Structure 1
Amino acid sequence: MFAPTPDRFATRDQLLSMSGLAFVEAILDGELPPPPIAKLLNYHLTEVGSGRVVFAGTPMVDHCNPMGTVHGGWYGTLLDSCMACAVMTGVPQGSFYTTLEYKVNLVRGIPLGTEIMAEGRVQHSGRSTGVAEGWIRGAVDGKLYATGSTTCLIMAG
């Protein structure tokens, strides 16, 4: 079984000692490690603000389905990451979130090697839930590739 190590994840104490916004900013600034899945799927955090998060990424051959196109899970993971992290920016110190559900709409296929931006924006941030929307666009041309929505559960630590 995989055991988290301090160099791969923030500790629970680190997570609960700061607001959600400060936590996501610490990942952006390199003070806390990014999630390991970001390396595996070739994306990284580029912008963080209150209620808004942006990731940049580029799908590669390793992210393809058997038909040779970008797997829908790649789109879903990028959208889940940007939307849920946007919700995290509104989570108070001592709390954290988990995704309850998310929906993805693929608009068109992303050509391999195309850099994209995945942006998440909060629509509602409450005591127990957060709702956000997101989209994936081409970094150069702004072409829309996918949209999404999420509901996250906010929990006290």
Structure 2
Amino acid sequence: MTQTQPPSSDSLDPLSLSGYELLMAMARGEFPPAPISETIGMSGFGGEEGSIWVELVPEPRHYNPLGTVHGGVISTLLDTAAACSVHSTLAPGEGYTSLDLTVKFLKPVTVDSGLLRATGSVLQRGRRTALAQAQLHDAQGRLVAHATSSCMIFS
């Protein structure tokens, strides 16, 4: 069986791609990444339809005044993983927006936590809404935070 290569980004219209195809084209560098990933320094991205992961190595620049990674950075990782998991289920021409995000912080995160990986998954995907969750693990595999998110889907 031969595999076909996807067309180059020069010939691709992002609006003609499914959500998953667009996310993977971004991961391969065929389209620019989301600006937030550069802003906070996300270092990895991947997954499959319905489940996307993002990674970040925490740095002192991510700290709050108490010397731990700011909850906003943790929330951003969880929101990205959950929402991109929903994004990965979209058909060409569909869009989405987050309706809510509920985060539970379970353990402090510092530079000593090592590589963080947020893994999202779609729990339920309807025609107009989706429910997703994400878990954030540290380099030792410990669950440090969890989130749920609802998204609205539109044409």
TM range (shorter): 0.7 to 0.9
Quote the residue 2:130 is aligned against: 130
Q: Deviations over 1:104-142 (max 9, x none)?
A: 100001122521111000001121111111110013x11
Quote the residue 2:8 is aligned against: none
RMSD between aligned alpha carbons? 1.7
Quote the residue 1:153 is aligned against: 152
Quote the residue 1:6 is aligned against: none
Question: 1:14/1:130 Cα in 2 relative to 1: closer, same or farther (>3 Å)?
Answer: farther
Shift of residue 22, structure 1, vs aligned partner? 0.7
Shift of residue 75, structure 1, vs aligned partner? 0.6
Q: Which amino acid is 1:129 matched to? A: T
Quote the residue 1:43 is aligned against: 42
Alpha-carbon distance in 1 for matches of 2:152, 2:43: 24
Q: Is the 8 A contact 2:138 2:144 kept in 1?
A: yes
Q: Is the 8 A contact 2:51 2:120 kept in 1?
A: yes
Shift of residue 16, structure 1, vs aligned partner? 2.1
Alpha-carbon distance in 2 for matches of 1:35, 1:20: 14
TM-score normalised by structure 2 residue count:
0.87
Identity over aligned residues, as a percent? Answer: 33
Greater Rg by CA: 2
How do 1:7-86 and structure 2 match up within 5 A? Answer: 14-86=13-85
Unpaired segments of 5 or more residues in structure 1?
1-12
Q: Which amino acid is 2:20 matched to? A: L
Shift of residue 96, structure 1, vs aligned partner? 1.2
Shift of residue 45, structure 1, vs aligned partner? 3.8
TM-score normalised by structure 1 residue count:
0.86
Q: Which amino acid is 2:146 matched to? A: T
Q: Deviations over 1:59-87 (max 9, x none)?
A: 21111112221110011000000000000
Alpha-carbon distance in 1 for matches of 2:144, 2:28: 28
Q: Is the 8 A contact 1:15 1:23 kept in 2?
A: yes
Alpha-carbon distance in 1 for matches of 2:27, 2:121: 17
Quote the residue 2:121 is aligned against: 121
Question: 1:128/1:135 Cα in 2 relative to 1: closer, same or farther (>3 Å)?
Answer: same
Unpaired segments of 5 or more residues in structure 2?
1-11
Alpha-carbon distance in 1 for matches of 2:57, 2:51: 20
Dislocated runs of 4+, deviation >6 Å: none
